[in-house]
Amino acid sequence: MPKRLTADAYIDGILNGDRVMLSRAITVIESRLRGDKKLASAILQGILPKTGNALRIGITGVPGVGKSTFIEAFGQYLTSLGKHIAVLAIDPSSRISGGSILGDKTRMENLAHDSRAYIRPSSTGLSLGGVARNTRNVMLLCEAAGYEVILVETVGVGQSETLVKGMTDFFLLLMLAGAGDELQGIKKGIMEMVDAIAINKADGVNELLANQAVSDYQSALHLMSHSTSGFTARVLSCSALERRGMDTIWETIEEYVKLTNSNGFFVKNRQSQNMDQLHSSIQQALQDRFYENNAVKSRLLSLEKMVSEGNELPVNAAEHLIDLYLNSQTSLDKS
């Protein structure tokens, strides 16, 4: 493991746009080592005044929709405009080994070599919904390093989308045309969350199907409840392979930002997200401390065995462990 530096060294490197130092700081942030937690907190506190100025875009889509190809095409379009972009690609982790593929740099080879782009694959670990536990904090680091647009790629359509929606400004859903009963295959909840739908692979024989899909999805969106942002979700077609439609998608995003800034939703949404992160951080911190507690660890395995064999109710086992934790904390307070 590379030697840890002082918090000031990481902060200075990040603020000066040092990509190597940014990567090393992200490693500290993602670390589960007890010794890195205070260092991570100091780094984040130090760069906090330089955060919040980037546009955060969440991108999701069904398997096979071509998310990586789209992000590379869209990312290169943005860098051609002079934008500095960061791509946080959330990779699914193995439930058995905890490992992940982390192959987004190879899937986005051209973008990975773009000096205005920074790609950071991130394992989901054991976090809820498949979203990397520290994605929010990594976004802050990238903002402090000067990246103006942050693209967060999710694992796929599912629970993780709710969490990504809760940490980004604009939410884009990628879909395919002619892949079956598309409308029936997408949950209403996700359709209500999106700010735009892009029908990808609108090229060759698929172009006519894509145009029909645009019409179908637009009709479906009219049946959904109106967004609190005041922006009417759009349905667009694009071809990531042929690099077409990227300009229209960006113009739609810019229109959204302009509207939500003028009506105050943009700032209120960010404030609401910060409050959500506060409460989720409390829950995560309590969970970490609970499982690290010696009294809990000494009893956990035996209770797990009893529950798995049907000899103990899960709720009773949970209550017993919580009592052990609280009693141990009380003992510490008295000592």
Residue with tokens 């960006």, as numbered in its chain:
250
Is residue 215 packed enough to be buried (19+ CB in 10 Å), middle (13-18) or exposed (0-12)? Answer: exposed
Evaluate whether 91 touches 122 at the Cβ level (below 8 Å).
yes
Question: CB within 8 A of 237, min separation 6: which ones?
Answer: 198, 199, 202, 207, 210, 211, 213, 214, 245
Say what the pLDDT of residue 335 is: 61
Say what the pLDDT of residue 94 is: 39
Say what the pLDDT of residue 131 is: 55
Report the C-alpha gap between 23 and 18 in whole angstroms.
9
Say what the pLDDT of residue 170 is: 97
Residue ranges, comma separated, of all CATH 1.10.287 domains in the chain are: 275-334
198 - beta bridge partners?
A: 174, 236
The model carries a pTM of 0.87
Residue ranges, comma separated, of all CATH 1.20.5.170 domains in the chain are: 1-50
Report the C-alpha gap between 289 and 326 in whole angstroms.
11
Say what the pLDDT of residue 133 is: 66
pLDDT digits (tens, 9 = 90+) for 93-139: 433 334 334 445 557 889 999 999 999 986 655 454 335 568 899 99
For every residue of 185-241, DSSP letters joined together read HS-HHHHHH-SEEEE----TTHHHHHHHHHHHHHHHHHTSPPPTTSPPPEEEE-BTT
Furthest C-alpha separation in the chain: 75
- Give the mean pLDDT per block of 10 residues along the chain (335 residues): 87 97 94 88 97 95 87 97 93 43 63 94 55 81 98 72 88 80 57 90 88 86 81 94 96 98 97 91 89 95 97 97 93 69
Say what the pLDDT of residue 96 is: 37
123: helix, strand or coil: strand
Say what the pLDDT of residue 164 is: 86
Looking at domain 52-263, its CATH architecture is 3-Layer(aba) Sandwich (3.40)
Question: Please, what CATH class does the domain formed by 275-334 belong to?
Answer: mainly alpha
Tokens of 186: 């997408």
- The answer as to CATH 1.20.5.170 being correct for domain 1-50 is yes
Residue ranges, comma separated, of all CATH 3.40.50.300 domains in the chain are: 52-263
pLDDT digits (tens, 9 = 90+) for 250-286: 999 999 999 999 999 999 999 999 998 898 889 888 9
Tokens of 220: 């479906």
Alpha-carbon torsion, ordered 28, 34, 35, 41, to 10 deg: 60
Report the C-alpha gap between 165 and 169 in whole angstroms.
8
Say what the pLDDT of residue 127 is: 53
Query: How far, in Å, are 18, 57, 237 from residue 85 at the CA level?
Result: 14, 11, 23
Tokens of 196: 């735009």
